[in-house]
A and B are shown apart, each in its own frame.
Chain A
Amino acid sequence: MSLIIIPMPDAAYGFLLMTLTPCGESVILDLPMSMPETLIKRGEALWEIPVSYKRGMRVPARIYATEKLLTSMDEGVFEQITNVATLPGILDYAFCMPDGHWGYGFPIGGTAAFDLDQGVISPGGIGFDINCGMRLVKTDLQFDEIKQHLHTLIDRLFGRIPAGVGCRGTLPISRDDFRELIEGGAAWCVKAGYGLHDDLRRTEEGGCMSGADSAKVSQTSIERGYRQVGTLGSGNHYLEIQVLRPEHIFDREAAETFGLNIPNQVVIMFHCGSRGFGHQVATDYVKLLLERMNSRYKLDIKDRELACAPFRSPDGQDYFAAMKCAVNMAYANRQVILHRVREVFSDVFHRSPEDLGMEQVYDISHNTAKIEQHTHHGRKREVLIHRKGATRSLGPGGFDLPPEYSKSGQPVIIGGSMETGSYLLVGTEGGRETFFTTAHGSGRKMSRRNAKKQFDGKKIQRELLHRGIYVRTSSYSGLAEEAGAAYKNIDDVIEATVQAGISRRIARFIPVGNVKG
């Protein structure tokens, strides 16, 4: 066994002591104070916390990260992912993706699969913003064609797609309409004239999780959400016009499959979720399950945000049906936003969206629980997968993919900060070990308050304009909170997913215009 001492750049952390075993595994013995004392290196970008770390762990926890990302993770990640490992019915491992950071219940980036009969469902494994997700739309326009219209496009998008605290949508629907919408998802919108059938084919679940039951959601949640369809929200939610430079295509064949085949091609990417409706569904059920989980199901948990119920129980099934309503609301929300984007581009260029080649590449979900069929220890079985701040990343031939994407694998849209750009990845066969799950974004490294103290929103806006990125925002303090320096380097996150073999680079997009919520 040899001993390696690695000096740490941050003096507060001191140093790492790493031992190498004869089989090449390394064990870190002394780590930054926030990290577990025993971490086993299982691969270039894979670390494991054994069950001996915490009483009650049923499976080890696995963190996908380069050493650089691992040492920058906050203490909440290690505490929370090992709490997840204590939940009944969990299979194989509690996973954390490279962009993992402190959440509630599960860390952001937390993923866990559960046995349908022995396992639980937990709103804390999904998050308050149920089906927060990303949508990517390509155009047949080159940057030179939009350059002179860029400010007009962003100004009109800012005017057409409500953003900011408490914003209301422009879709004139009643509460009863909304109940239909949350059961029908994006398909309801397409039927109502807000989109194309092909949009649905290129959305996870076809834009609608079946089994959504509006009788399982509260009137409070309906009141919070029915006037918010077609809105961005705030925080890290945004819409961007981006450019794909030829040197940023990493796999030309796969890019071609996704319609990315023009030099300096213009795309639109946006990030938002189920708005106040989804937040209330989560709030209602966390409270309900907290009241009942011990008395009805004798479940004991490490953190109240891990409130849960056996998946097969009436309460578990009620939450699952309500959660699906919120998933569908988010699909519908992004569908209406896409419709508005098409309207704006069509107005500005006096051409139809079809003529502009405005086709949806894909829509992916971050915060969900889904029943999926996976090959597990050599046999096919259905499992319940919680992904919180994590993305499904099906490899080639994966279920639920449109036929044209079957060979390439599932597009994975990774949003970066507004200053650094974003990525399109695809799922790989190697994703099998994470139940086909990968990262979802850059991951924060600085608190919102610190970001507000360090950065000035108006100054950021001016500097970005100088760099060729035109930003409209509903909040300058919100803009400061989303400064690029508040996030980890997205290249590091992507590199970790590639090293771990759970996804593969296809293209990188550079922002030129941003609507910030």
Chain B
Amino acid sequence: MPYRFIDNIAIADAAFEATGSTLEEVLLSAWDATLKTMVENPGSIEMKSSRSISIIQGQPDLLLHDFLQKLIFYKDAEGEILRVKALELMRKNNLYQIRAQLSGEPIDPSRHQMSVDVKAVTFHRLAVVELESGWSATVVLDV
């Protein structure tokens, strides 16, 4: 699931572009990029806990915003870092709905190389667009 960090916007923070052949893939890529911003070695996260989330939004950028905010929420509220185990995207009556299974574990500084806290997903240049070749998202995180 590809993403690349962008160096020349909002230099005090973290920006990335995520791409995928489908909107689901872009959502997963963006989750990985946000996780990577906080954890240098996301592969070290063991899938121990299980959490279900559901999000409904009318626009794909707001859907992505709320989806990534879940990662930030559980990091602060539960001290957990989570990966996406399964994701289902439905579109009905001009609404997007995500149902996802998240899995991970409490932050363990002895195994997880933590980097920087992500405070929020900003609306600054937030964009999710459908291209001929697939989908692309631009996200700036406040860190």
> Are B75 and A166 in contact, with the CB atoms below 8 A?
yes
Min CB distance B135 to A, Å, is 20
> Are A474 and B114 in contact, with the CB atoms below 8 A?
yes
Asked if A304 lies at the interface with its beta carbon under 8 angstroms from chain B, I say yes
Asked if B79 lies at the interface with its beta carbon under 8 angstroms from chain A, I say yes
Q: Report which of B80, B114, B142 forms a contact with A104, defined as CB distance below 8 A.
A: B142
Asked if B69 lies at the interface with its beta carbon under 8 angstroms from chain A, I say yes
Chain A minimum-CB-distance residue to B69: A283
Min CB distance A273 to B, Å, is 9
Chain A positions within 8 Å of B116 at CB level: 165, 234-235, 448, 475, 477-478, 481
Asked if A436 lies at the interface with its beta carbon under 8 angstroms from chain B, I say no
Chain A positions within 8 Å of B114 at CB level: 164-166, 234, 474-475, 478
Min CB distance A31 to B, Å, is 18
Asked if B23 lies at the interface with its beta carbon under 8 angstroms from chain A, I say no
Asked if B107 lies at the interface with its beta carbon under 8 angstroms from chain A, I say yes
* A59 to B117 CA separation, bound complex (whole angstroms): 36
> Are B107 and A101 in contact, with the CB atoms below 8 A?
no
> Are A166 and B76 in contact, with the CB atoms below 8 A?
yes
> Are A165 and B117 in contact, with the CB atoms below 8 A?
yes
Chain A positions within 8 Å of B12 at CB level: 101-103, 108, 236, 444, 448
Q: Report which of A101, A225, A303 forms a contact with B11, defined as CB distance below 8 A.
A: A101
> Are B76 and A276 in contact, with the CB atoms below 8 A?
yes
> Are B73 and A223 in contact, with the CB atoms below 8 A?
yes
Chain B minimum-CB-distance residue to A104: B124
* A101 to B12 CA separation, bound complex (whole angstroms): 8
Count of B residues near A, CB < 8 Å? 39
Chain B minimum-CB-distance residue to A443: B12
Q: Report which of A233, A283, A447, A449 forms a contact with B117, defined as CB distance below 8 A.
A: A233
Q: Report which of A224, A283, A304, A444 forms a contact with B124, defined as CB distance below 8 A.
A: A304
Which of B2-10, B45-53, B87-95 lines the interface with chain A?
B2-10
For window 89-129 of chain B, which residues contact chain A by CB distance below 8 Å?
Answer: 107, 109, 113-117, 119-124, 126
Asked if B130 lies at the interface with its beta carbon under 8 angstroms from chain A, I say no
Chain A positions within 8 Å of B5 at CB level: 449
> Are B115 and A477 in contact, with the CB atoms below 8 A?
yes
* A282 to B117 CA separation, bound complex (whole angstroms): 16
* A14 to B123 CA separation, bound complex (whole angstroms): 34
For window 277-330 of chain A, which residues contact chain B by CB distance below 8 Å?
Answer: 279-280, 282-283, 286-287, 290, 303-305, 307
Min CB distance A295 to B, Å, is 14
Asked if A30 lies at the interface with its beta carbon under 8 angstroms from chain B, I say no
Asked if B38 lies at the interface with its beta carbon under 8 angstroms from chain A, I say yes
Q: Report which of B107, B126, B143 forms a contact with A304, defined as CB distance below 8 A.
A: B126
Min CB distance A140 to B, Å, is 35
Chain A minimum-CB-distance residue to B114: A165
Chain A positions within 8 Å of B113 at CB level: 475-477
Q: 6 closest pairs, A vs B, by CB?
A: A276-B76, A304-B123, A104-B124, A224-B76, A279-B119, A223-B77
Binding site for B on A (CB under 8 A): 74, 76, 101-105, 108, 127-129, 164-166, 168, 220, 223-225, 228, 233-236, 275-276, 279-280, 282-283, 286-287, 290, 303-305, 307, 444-450, 474-478, 481, 517
Binding site for A on B (CB under 8 A): 5, 7-14, 38-40, 65, 69, 72-73, 75-77, 79-81, 107, 109, 113-117, 119-124, 126, 140, 142-143
A–B pairs, 11, beta carbons within 8 Å: A102-B12, A104-B10, A166-B79, A166-B80, A223-B76, A234-B143, A236-B12, A276-B119, A475-B113, A477-B40, A477-B115
Beyond A235-B143, A477-B115, A477-B116, 11 additional contacts (C-beta under 8 Å) are A102-B11, A102-B12, A105-B124, A128-B142, A166-B114, A234-B115, A235-B116, A276-B77, A279-B120, A444-B11, A448-B12
